[in-house]
């Protein structure tokens, strides 16, 4: 077999070909998932602030538990930035008990609210003139807010074109050879953001579809035969 010599002037061309192939793979996956599952209508929430609260509470728990916690806050007529900011942390912890790790999450909510009022006067409209990259860095500086939570707030509450990565996304990408072994959060995120149109609705729907896939099919013990992506090359 003849050796394939890659000259420097060819590298850019090969990179473009690989990127194009990856874009096609991502598009095919999206189309198959949307055809099977339909629109996900995610993230549930009546207001952007409710979405932010949900993004913090959903850490290490399922959404059903988060809904119970948010319902408690709503029933107490406290689901506003001002009221939660003024609320005693012990009372807040009691309200969000269904979400699990309630003492820790109460502190994280309070950390966010302190930052929110100190830097933005507790008003969501004050985020509008802040660049997404800068706002992301500021969110990550809040104790208890990691990349997934920060990006969920940016995408779902603030309508910024940021792709959210979670354990489901990483598992699907790994099994379908979309990422290198050991790829970190940023590398997985870059796979989507660099190979898809920078579109808020697309990022929203795609992430929600991957969550659906990961919960119901691409589990630690996968259900490959029933999976909408089963016809695509993959390993488990």
> Against a cut of 0.75, is the pTM above it?
yes
**Average pLDDT of the residues in 90-112:** 98
Residue span(s) of the chain under CATH 1.10.340.30 come to 48-157
- Considering the domain delimited by 48-157, tell me its CATH architecture: Orthogonal Bundle (1.10)
Domain 163-236 has CATH 1.10.1670.10: yes
Look at the alpha carbons of 72, 75, 79, 85 in this order and tell me if their dihedral is positive or negative: negative
Residue with tokens 């050991």: 182
Residue with tokens 């989507």: 192
Tens digit of pLDDT for each residue in 173-221?
Answer: 999 999 998 999 999 999 999 999 999 999 999 999 999 999 999 999 9
CA 108 from centre of chain: 18
The answer to whether the CB of 138 falls within 8 A of the CB of 156 is no
Cα distances (angstroms) measured from residue 64 to each of 99, 129, 220, 233 = 8, 34, 21, 33
Residue span(s) of the chain under CATH 1.10.1670.10 come to 163-236
**Average pLDDT of the residues in 39-65:** 96
Return d(Cα 105, Cα 6) in angstroms, integer: 53
Return d(Cα 70, Cα 64) in angstroms, integer: 10
Tens digit of pLDDT for each residue in 110-167?
Answer: 999 999 999 999 999 999 999 999 999 999 999 999 999 999 999 999 999 999 999 9
What's the helix, strand, coil split of the chain in %, to 5?
65, 0, 35
Percent of the chain with pLDDT over 70: 92
Return d(Cα 103, Cα 114) in angstroms, integer: 16
């Amino acid at each position: 077999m003849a050796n394939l010599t890659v000259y420097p002037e060819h590298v850019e061309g090969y990179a473009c070909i690989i990127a194009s192939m990856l874009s096609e793979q991502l598009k095919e996956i999206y189309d198959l998932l949307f055809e099977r599952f339909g629109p996900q209508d995610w993230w549930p929430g009546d207001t952007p602030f409710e979405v932010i609260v949900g993004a913090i509470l959903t850490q290490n728990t399922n959404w059903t538990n988060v809904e119970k916690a948010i319902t408690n806050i709503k029933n107490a007529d406290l689901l506003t930035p001002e009221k939660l900011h003024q609320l005693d942390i012990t009372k807040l912890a009691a309200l969000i008990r269904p979400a699990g790790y309630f003492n820790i999450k109460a502190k994280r909510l309070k950390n966010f609210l302190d930052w929110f009022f100190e830097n933005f006067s507790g008003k969501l409209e004050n985020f509008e003139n802040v660049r997404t990259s800068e706002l992301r860095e500021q969110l990550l500086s809040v104790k208890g807010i990691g990349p997934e939570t920060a990006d969920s707030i940016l995408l779902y509450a603030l309508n910024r074109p940021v792709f959210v990565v979670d354990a489901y996304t990483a598992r699907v990408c790994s099994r379908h050879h979309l990422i290198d072994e050991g790829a970190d959060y940023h590398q997985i995120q870059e796979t989507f953001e660099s190979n898809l149109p920078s579109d808020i609705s697309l990022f929203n729907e795609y992430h929600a579809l991957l969550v659906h896939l990961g919960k119901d099919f691409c589990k630690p013990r996968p259900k490959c035969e029933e999976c909408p992506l089963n016809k695509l090359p993959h390993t488990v």
